[in-house]
């Protein structure tokens, strides 16, 4: 009652004949004046709307509430810690997934902590990283093509996604779309996931001196690798026009002196078909290749396609590099202090290339429309999650990741970013 009284009092004041140009009988006045006020207000409202849409702000206004109410879009998933949470994690697949490369199947090869690796959950500081829901993923990305383009670490992430999805939907066609190394179509959902193998993104091949000479020959080069910084490798050149979502990476091979030996078989960079003179070192070659490959994707990507660049995956060699007796024998994630010791640029340790590569990536991506899938920081803690001696190779593997394992979390992150778009 009280509020009604207040309202009527207010109305009475508003409708005071002295304040309004309505001068007839009180009842008539009331009706007319309410009517004109209503018209006046709706006119104001409409004119507001018109102004907003004519200045082009209308759309912003309409979309703002939904995006600002989504707290996840402001959450930084990359800062956080690993929590030991054996019961909080639902198993998505196990060692029976046939896609797992033998050297990464730490359960089958009896790595002592193989079952423990996935009992750690990544907990961002400000929010939760939702756990991967394969059924939701299949539905959300039906009629979609997703391409992983990059080195074996991107294959590791691709395998994690395929195994997670196969667990709930096994009507799968295996094929090789658009030059890929391997791909799967989840038939019930028409979702295709493919892996395009490329180490440098840019095309490269063996180079040897020409008998007739040339500018590189005159500088004394005899053997090496020709890297065409402006030509995408054929394995993925078609990927941007085929896929709706792309996840690119490169990094490890630019710091791989065993293949690209700076003396015996150096990288020799070419642009527009001609050698880059004076010859440059791989770190500058990486910048040239990144700039060219990023603008290539922006030019040829499907309209509306979503482009991610994944940051560098850290290695965890301690006590020497892979060819100097280094190993990774930890059974738990390492502390923040240890992370800094292993990876800080100042310490310039064995695995320093992780953050070095990222410096190049961030610089090249700054002015691009790529989204950055930053997995480096959260992975730096996981010295326990590499195949180590269980990789079955001549050398200890402290570079790739056991599956199931850390690249499952990378896919959680991918899905969280995709859901925020
Ligand atoms: C792992 O352990 C099982 C059971 O002890 C054994 O049968 C198998 O050969 C082992 N695998 C490897 C790769 O050592
Ligand atoms: C399956 O998805 C692809 C990629 O989006 C699309 O081009 C194609 O038309 C889809 N096929 C069917 C039968 O919907
Ligand atoms: C980092 O260490 C390597 C050898 O381990 C050395 O060749 C290089 O010059 C060092 N870089 C810096 C910036 O100190």
From the CA of 109, give the closest atom in ligand 1: 13
Within 10 A of 69 (CB to CB), how many other CB atoms are there? 8
Q: Which residue's structure tokens are 């779309």?
A: 177
Q: 178-200: per-residue pLDDT in tens? A: 999 999 999 999 999 999 999 99
* Calpha distance 83→22 (Å, rounded): 72
Which H or E element spans position 267? strand 267-271
Tokens of 33: 């004046």
Q: What percent of the residues of the chain are helix, what percent strand, and what percent coil, each to the nearest 5?
A: 40, 15, 45
The minimum-distance atom of ligand 2 relative to the CA of 143 is 2
Q: How far is CA 94 from CA 107, 118, 402, in A?
A: 8, 11, 11
Of all atoms in ligand 2, which is nearest to the CA of residue 244? 5
Ligand 2 binding residues, C-beta < 6 A: 143-145, 190, 244
Instruction: Determine the distance separating the centroid of ligand 1 and the alpha carbon of 83, expressed in angstroms.
Output: 30
Tokens of 416: 């969280």
Nearest to 314 by CA among 293, 341, 288: 341
CA of 348 to the centre of ligand 3 (A): 6
Backbone angles phi and psi of 298, in degrees to 5: -65, -30
Tokens representing 308? 């991610």
How many C-beta neighbours within 10 Å does residue 196 have? 32
Give the C-alpha distances (Å, rounded to integers) separating 296 from 146, 194, 288, 292: 18, 20, 12, 6
Q: How far is the CA of 184 from the centre of ligand 1 (A)?
A: 30
Q: What is the pLDDT of residue 203?
A: 98
Distance CA(314)–CA(400), nearest Å, equals 9
Cα–Cα distance between 149 and 239 in angstroms, integer?
8
Residue in 113, 177, 151, 147 with CA at minimum distance from that of residue 315: 151
* Structure confidence at residue 421 (pLDDT): 86
Residues belonging to the chain: 421
The ligand whose atoms approach the alpha carbon of 112 most closely is 1
Which tokens in the block code for residue 415?
Answer: 């899905």
The pLDDT value recorded for residue 354 is 97
Distance from Cα 102 to the centre of ligand 1, integer Å: 13
| pLDDT tens per residue across span 76-108 | 999 999 999 999 888 899 999 999 999 999 999
User: Which ligand lies nearest to the CA atom of residue 244 in the structure?
Assistant: 2
Q: How high does pLDDT run on average in the chain?
A: 86
Which of 190, 194, 302 is the pocket-test mutation for ligand 2 (most atoms within 8 Å of CB)? 190
pLDDT at 241 (0 to 100) = 97
What is the pLDDT, as a whole number, of residue 360? 98
Per-residue pLDDT of the chain (421 residues; tens, 9 = 90+): 334 334 333 333 333 333 333 333 443 333 333 334 333 333 333 333 322 233 333 333 323 333 333 444 568 999 999 999 999 888 899 999 999 999 999 999 999 999 999 999 999 999 999 999 999 999 999 999 999 999 999 999 999 999 999 999 999 999 999 999 999 999 999 999 999 999 999 999 999 999 999 999 999 999 999 999 999 999 999 999 999 999 999 999 998 878 899 999 999 999 999 999 999 999 999 999 999 999 999 999 999 999 999 999 999 999 999 999 999 999 999 999 999 999 999 999 999 999 999 999 999 999 999 999 999 999 999 999 999 999 887 889 999 999 999 999 999 999 999 998 8
From CA 159, how far away is CA 195, in angstroms rounded? Answer: 9
Which one, of 159, 168, 91, lies nearest residue 135 by Cα? Answer: 168
Q: Cα(418) to centroid of ligand 2, in Å?
A: 19
Nearest CA owner, ligand 1 atom 3: 110
Determine the pLDDT at residue 74: 67
Give the whole-angstrom CA distance, residue 305 versus residue 244. 5
217 near 277, Cβ under 8 Å?
no
């Amino acid at each position: 009652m009280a509020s009604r009284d207040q309202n009527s009092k207010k109305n009475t004041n508003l409708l005071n004949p002295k304040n309004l140009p309505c001068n007839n009988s009180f009842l008539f006045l009331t009706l007319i004046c309410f009517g004109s006020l209503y018209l006046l207000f709706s006119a104001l409202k409409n004119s507001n709307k018109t102004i907003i849409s004519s200045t082009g702000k209308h759309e912003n206004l309409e979309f703002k509430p939904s995006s600002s109410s989504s707290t996840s879009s402001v959450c930084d998933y990359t800062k956080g810690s690993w929590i030991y949470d054996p019961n909080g994690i639902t198993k998505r697949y196990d060692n029976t997934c046939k896609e797992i490369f033998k050297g990464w199947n730490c359960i089958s090869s009896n790595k002592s902590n193989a079952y423990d690796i996935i009992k750690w959950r990544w907990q961002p500081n400000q929010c939760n990283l939702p756990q991967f829901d394969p059924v939701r993923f299949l539905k959300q990305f039906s009629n979609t093509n997703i391409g992983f383009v990059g080195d074996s670490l991107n294959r590791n992430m691709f395998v994690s996604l395929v195994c997670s999805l196969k667990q709930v939907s096994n009507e799968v066609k295996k094929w090789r779309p658009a030059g890929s190394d391997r791909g799967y179509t989840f038939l019930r959902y028409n979702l295709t996931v493919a892996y395009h193998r490329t180490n440098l993104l840019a095309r490269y091949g063996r180079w040897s001196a020409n008998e007739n000479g040339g500018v590189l020959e005159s500088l004394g080069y005899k053997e090496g690798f020709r890297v065409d910084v402006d030509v995408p490798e054929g394995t993925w050149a078609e990927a941007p026009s085929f896929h709706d979502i792309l996840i690119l990476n490169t990094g490890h091979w630019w710091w791989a002196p065993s293949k690209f030996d700076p003396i015996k078989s150096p990288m020799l960079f070419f642009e527009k078909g001609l050698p880059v003179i004076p010859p440059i070192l791989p770190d500058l070659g990486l910048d040239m290749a990144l700039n060219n490959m990023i603008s290539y994707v922006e030019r040829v990507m499907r309209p509306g396609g979503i482009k991610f660049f994944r940051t560098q995956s850290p290695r965890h060699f301690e006590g020497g590099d892979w060819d100097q007796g280094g190993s990774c024998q930890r059974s738990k994630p390492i502390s923040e202090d240890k992370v800094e010791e292993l990876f800080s640029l100042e310490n310039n340790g064995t695995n320093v290339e992780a953050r070095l590569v990222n410096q190049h990536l961030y610089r090249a991506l700054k002015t691009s429309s790529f989204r950055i899938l930053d997995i480096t920081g959260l992975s730096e803690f996981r010295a326990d999650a590499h195949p180590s001696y269980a990789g079955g190779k001549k050398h200890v593997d402290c570079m790739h990741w056991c599956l199931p394992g850390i690249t499952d979390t990378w896919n959680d992150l991918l899905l969280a970013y995709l859901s925020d778009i």
